[in-house]
Amino acid sequence: NARIAVIGAGSGYMPGVIRGLLHRADDLAGADLAFYDLDAGHLDVMTRLARNMFAARGADFTVTAHTDLTAALDGADFVFTTFRPGGLAGRHLDESIPLKYGVVGQETVGPGGFLMACRSVPVLLNIARVLEKVAPKAWILNYTNPTNVVTDAVLRNTDARVISLCDQWVGDTETWADLLGLPQAGLEIDWIGTNHGTWAERVRLDGEDVDIAPLLERLEPHGAATPHRDPSRMAELGRALGLLVNSYSKYYFFHDEVVRELTAKGTTRAQDILAMLPAYYEQVAGQADEKDPDPSGERGGGEHGEFAVDVICAIARDEQRRFIVNTPNRGSISSLEDDAIVEVPAIIGRQGAVPLVMGELPRQVRGLTQSIHEYERLAADAAVTGDRRLALRALMAHPFVRGKRTAEKILEEGLAAHRGDLPQF
C-alpha cells in the first residue's frame, strides 16, 4: 500500500487534489494519505472534506492529519509538496516590489520568483533532509514554486529523488489546440525549455506529424485572457516566432506592456486571491461534514490534482507513461548543460523520469532560454547559501532586469521585506 504525504494539505488547491486522488482511486486502493499543514484549521477542514468525499465515492483511502512534519513524512513512498512559504502575503510582496522598479512582478518568473525561491528552498531542503532519515526512497512530486529552482537546489544538495511538476502545459496545449483548430484528443506537443519558458516546434495528432507553419500563418487570435494565459498574445508570439509558446512567454516578449498593465490594475494577483479566499474556505468548510461534499470553483482546476496523481500512479505502477515534467536534462536538450533542470517530455515509471531526446532549442528562443537557465542556477545557489553577492548576480542575469541598480534595489527591499522567512540570509 502506498503512503502518500501531502505537504500543504490545507491549501485551497486541495479539493482538486482530492478529486485527482478519486480519479485513480482503484489504482491506489489501500493508500495511506498523510496530510500536513502549518495551518491546523485549514488542515482540519480539508481532512474532513477528503474523508467524506472518499467515503461517498467508495474510495479505499485512510487519511491522517499532521502538524508534525516528521510524523507526516515517516515511511512515505510519495511526498506531494504544494505549499507557498510566506503565504499569499509573501506572494503580494513578490508581485509588488519588482513593479516599483519597472520590472514585472510575478510569483514564479523574474525577481518575484527569485524572492519566492529564497523562501521555498530552505523548506524543501528541510523536507529532503527529514526524508533522508525517515523515508530515504520516497519520491518528491513538487508543485512548490519556482519549481525548477527548487528542484535544482534539492537535487544538488541532498540525496532526495524529485520530479517537479507544473500543469501549465496542460492548459497551454488546450489553448493551442483551439488556436490552431486542432482537436484536443490525440494532440501531443513536444514542449521543451525551462519551466514557464517552454516552446514547441513539433506537434503530433494521433501520432502523425502536423506541419504547424501554415497553421501559424493563418492564426486568428481568439479566446479570453485569464490571469496567467492570454491566447491573443500567445497567437501573436506564435506567428512571430514560428513556434508554439508557453503562456508565460508574454512576460518576456511583452515585458513593458505587462508592467504598465499590472501597474494600472492596482491590485496584485495575491490580493485578488486573498479577497476571494474567505468565501471559498467558508464554502468548503460548510460542506466538509456533508455525506457527499461537492465543492465548486476549486483553485487550480481539475488538471492540477489529476496530473500529480497520474505521475504518482505512473511511478507506483511502472506505467512508462509520457508526461511533460521538470527533471535533469541528461542530453534531452542539447543547447543546455546536462544537469540543467529542464521541462521536457519524459517517460515516467518505477525508475522516475527519463527525459526524451529533443535536440536543439529553436534559435530564436535559444539565447533567452539559456539566460533563464543561468539565472535559475545562480538563484538556486543564492537561495541555498544566502550569499548576497550570488543573489545580486542571479538578478543581474535575469532577462527582465536591465541594470545593476535595479537589481540592487529589488534585492535590498525584497530581502528586508521577507526577512522573517529567510533564515539563510
279's CB contacts (< 8 A; 6+ apart) are none
Closer to ligand G6P by Cβ: residue 31 or 258: 258
Question: Do 359 and 334 touch, CB atoms closer than 8 A?
Answer: yes
Distance between CA atoms of 168 and 301, rounded to whole angstroms? 11
Distance of closest approach, residue 92 Cβ to ligand G6P, in angstroms: 12
Nearest CB to ligand G6P, comparing residues 19 and 269? 269
The smaller minimum CB distance to ligand G6P, of residues 77 and 303, is found at: 303
Tell me if residue 252 is catalytic.
no
β-bridge pairing 139-142 and 62-66: unpaired
* Alpha helices (runs of H) in 317-403, residue ranges in sequence order: 363-385, 388-397
Rounded to 5°, the CA angle 384-386-389 comes to 120
How far apart are alpha carbons 211 and 287 in whole angstroms?
49
Q: Rounded to an integer, what distance in angstroms lies between the CA atom of residue 26 and that of residue 24?
A: 6
Long-range residue pairs from 280-284, CB within 8 A, at least 24 positions apart, any chain: 280/12, 281/12, 281/42, 281/45, 284/15, 284/45, 284/46, 284/49
Residues that bind ligand G6P (CB under 6 A): 108, 145, 166-168, 227-228, 269, 273, 299
State the sign of the Cα–Cα–Cα–Cα dihedral 175, 176, 181, 187: negative
Q: Which of 13, 248, 251, 252 is catalytic?
A: 248
Comparing CA positions, the residue from 154, 9, 156, 15 lying closest to residue 69 is 9
DSSP 3-state percent helix, strand, coil across the chain (nearest 5): 50, 15, 35
Smallest gap from residue 227 Cβ to ligand G6P (A)? 6
Pairing of strands 187-189, 203-205: antiparallel
Closer residue to ligand G6P in complex, CB, 52/106: 106
Q: Which is nearer to ligand G6P, 56 or 273 (CB)?
A: 273
Least distance CB 299 / ligand G6P (angstroms): 6
User: Pick from 312, 308, 305: which is nearest to 349 by CA?
Assistant: 312
Write down the least CB distance from residue 230 to ligand G6P, Å.
Answer: 13
Provide the minimum distance between the beta carbon of 37 and ligand G6P in the complex, in angstroms, as a whole number.
17
Closer by beta carbon to ligand G6P, 197 or else 293? 197
Edge-to-edge order in the sheet of strand 203-205 = 187-189, 203-205, 208-210
- The CB-of-289 to ligand G6P minimum distance in angstroms stands at 27
- In the complex with ligand G6P, the residue whose CB is nearer, 304 or 377, is 304
Question: What CA–CA distance (Å, rounded) separates 378 from 364?
Answer: 23
- Please choose, from the candidates 103, 92, 108, the residue with its C-alpha nearest in 3D space to the C-alpha of residue 399: 103
Q: How far apart are CA 133 and CA 339, in angstroms?
A: 25
Per DSSP, 343 falls in state E
Nearest-CB residue for ligand G6P = 168
The answer to whether 232 touches 223, Cβ cutoff 8 Å, is yes
Q: Which is nearer to ligand G6P, 277 or 390 (CB)?
A: 277
Minimum distance from residue 277 beta carbon to ligand G6P (Å): 10
Report the interhelical angle of 14-23 vs 40-56 (nearest 10°).
30
- At its nearest, how many Å lie between ligand G6P and the CB of residue 2? 25
Catalytic residues: 248
